[in-house]
Amino acid sequence: MNHPRSARGAVPRHDDRRRSFPQVAPREAPDGRFAATWWGNAWVEALEDTALDPARLARGKAYAGRGHVDAITVTPGRVVAYVHGSRPRPYRTEIRMRTLGDDGWERFLDEATARPDHIAALLDKDVPHALEAVTGLLPAPGDLVPDCSCPDDGYPCKHAAALCYQAARLLDEDPFVLFLMRGRGEQELLAELTRRNAARSAAETTAAAPPMPTVPARAALDATTSGAWLPPLPPPLPLPDRPGRPAVFPPDPEAPDPLSLDLLASEAAVRAHTFLATGHDPVAALTPWQDAVRLAAAHPGSGLTASTRALYRDLAYALDRTPTDLARAVAAWRQGGAAGLAVLEEPWDPPAGPFDRARPALLAADFPAFRPWRNRLSTESLQLRLGRDGLWYGYESDGGREDWWPRGEPDTDPVGALTDLLGG
C-alpha cells in the first residue's frame, strides 16, 4: 500500500523568485573595475552617482575585493548578505530597489519577442542595449536604497557599498539576476518568452504573403539583347505595417557605441517607412541641433540611465553643447516640439494684441504682477513665453536665478498655461 509522503519528506518546491549565491572569491581587478559587462558597470555607476562619501565607497570596494561579503540572496526588489567589518559579528546588509510593474514587463516581453536576436542574446546571457532602453531595467541614480545593521549612517555605508560591488559581479555572470531584482524569475521569464515567440512565429507563418511573380534572369537578358518583348515588372511590394528592426550590434572597443548604432538604424527605418507611406520626410527640414534634440527626446530614459546619459553626452559633444543644454532643449521639445524649442532659444518682439492683454488677465486671476521683456512675462521663479504659434509656454526657475526650464503644457490662454504650470 502506498502512503502519501509526509511534509517532512516532501521534495522542496523550487522557488523561482529566490536565489542564493555562494560567497564570491576575491579576485584581482587591475583596472579597478568590478564589472566586466556594460550592465554590470551601469549597476556600479548607479551606486557611485548616488553616494555621498567617496571614502566609504573606496572602503566598500576594498571590503568586496578582500572577500568580506558572504553568500548573497536575491529576491524581487532586494539583495541581502552578511558583510564582515571590524567587529567579530558580521552585519546584515541589503540593497532595495523598485520592481517593474506589469506595464514595464509587458514592454520588455514585447520588445524581446519582436526580435529573435534579442531572445538569442538573452539565452546567451547577454542583455541587448535596446531592451534596457525600452524598459529601464537598470537602476538610475537614487534607485538603489542601502540599509545595514551597522551604526554607520553613511549613504551608503562601506558594508552596503561592498554588497553592491559584489552584486555587480553576479550580474556579470547572469543577467537574469537583474531580472529577478526587478521582480521576475528566470524560469517564469523564459516560459513567457517561449510562449510569445511561438505565437509570433505562428502569426507570421499565417500572414505570409503569397509568392511574387518572377522573371528568370536569363529570359530577361535574352529579351533585352534580342529586342524581344519583355514581360512587365511585378507590382511593388506592399508597404509593411511597421518599420523594420535593425540588426544587433555587438559591443566593440574600436566601434561606435552599440546603443547609438541601434538608435540611428531604427531612426533611419522609421524615416524610410514614413517616406514610403507619405512621400514626405518629416526630419529633412530640421537642423542638426533640432534633430539631435528630437532623437534625445524620443529616447526612453530621459537621460537618467547609464545608456541615455552616454547618449546625451555624445550628442551634446558632437554639436559643441553641454548635456545640460541638451536636457533643457529636450524638455522644450517634449513641451511643444520644434515650436517649443524655438520658444526656448529665440526671444522675439510680438505685435500688440495677445501679449498686451496677458498681464491684465493674469492680474484679474489673482496672479502676481509679471515683468514684461520681449515675448516673456516673468516673476522671480515663474515665466510665461509667447510662441510664434500663439501659444503660451510655462517656465520655472529657482528664485533669484536665471535658470529657466520648460514646465507644463502650452495654452492659448496665459492663465491656463500658468495654472497648468502650478499644477492645477
Domain positions in the chain are 19-189, 258-343, 348-421
Secondary structure class of 82 (helix, strand, coil): strand
Cβ contacts of residue 47 below 8 Å, gap of 6+?
A: 57, 144, 156, 161, 164, 165
- Ramachandran angles phi, psi of 32, nearest 5°: 80, 5
Q: What is the pLDDT of residue 128?
A: 78
The helices-and-strands tally (H runs, E runs) of the chain is 15, 10
Write the pLDDT tens digit of every residue in 360-372. 888 888 887 888 9
Average pLDDT over residues 290-318: 72
Length of the chain: 424
60-63 long-range Cβ contacts below 8 angstroms, 24+ apart: 60/156, 60/157, 60/158, 60/159, 60/160, 60/161, 60/162, 60/164, 60/165, 61/34, 61/161, 61/162, 61/165, 63/158, 63/159, 63/161, 63/162
Closest to 245 measured CA to CA, from 274, 272, 269, 261: 269
The three cell numbers locating residue 194 = 517561449
pLDDT score, position 8: 45
- Dig out the grid coordinates for 415 from the structure: 492663465
Integer Cα distance of 279 and 239 in angstroms: 12
d(CA 115, CA 247): 9
Average confidence (pLDDT) over 174-189? 87
pLDDT mean over 329-340: 92
- Contact (CB, 8 A) for 141 and 50: yes
| pLDDT tier at 333, thresholds 50, 70, 90 | very high
263 is written with which cell numbers?
Answer: 538608435
Tell me: pLDDT of 5 over 50.
no
* pLDDT value, residue 374: 92
Greater confidence, 183 or 308? 183
For the chain, percent helix, then strand, then coil, each to nearest 5?
45, 10, 40
Report pLDDT for 205: 56
Among 16-30, 144-158, 179-193, 366-380, the range scoring the smallest mean pLDDT is 16-30
329 and 293 Cβ atoms separated by less than 8 Å = yes
pLDDT computed for residue 29 by the predictor: 52
When pLDDT is averaged across residues 142-157 and rounded to a whole number, the result is 84
Average pLDDT over all residues of the chain? 80
Q: What's the pLDDT band for 332 if we cut at 50, 70, 90? A: very high
**Percent of the residues in the chain that have a pLDDT greater than 70, as a whole number:** 79
Query: Could you report the per-residue pLDDT of 34-68, keeping only the tens digit for each?
Result: 677 888 888 888 878 777 778 888 888 888 888 88
Q: Find all residues with CB under 8 Å of 412, minimum gap 6, and list them.
A: 390, 391, 392
pLDDT tens per residue across span 259-301: 667 777 777 888 888 888 888 887 888 999 999 998 888 765 4
pTM summary value: 0.51
Highest mean pLDDT among 51-55, 102-106, 230-234, 246-250: 102-106
- Cβ contacts of 70 within 8 Å, gap of 6 or more: 23, 81, 82, 83, 84, 90
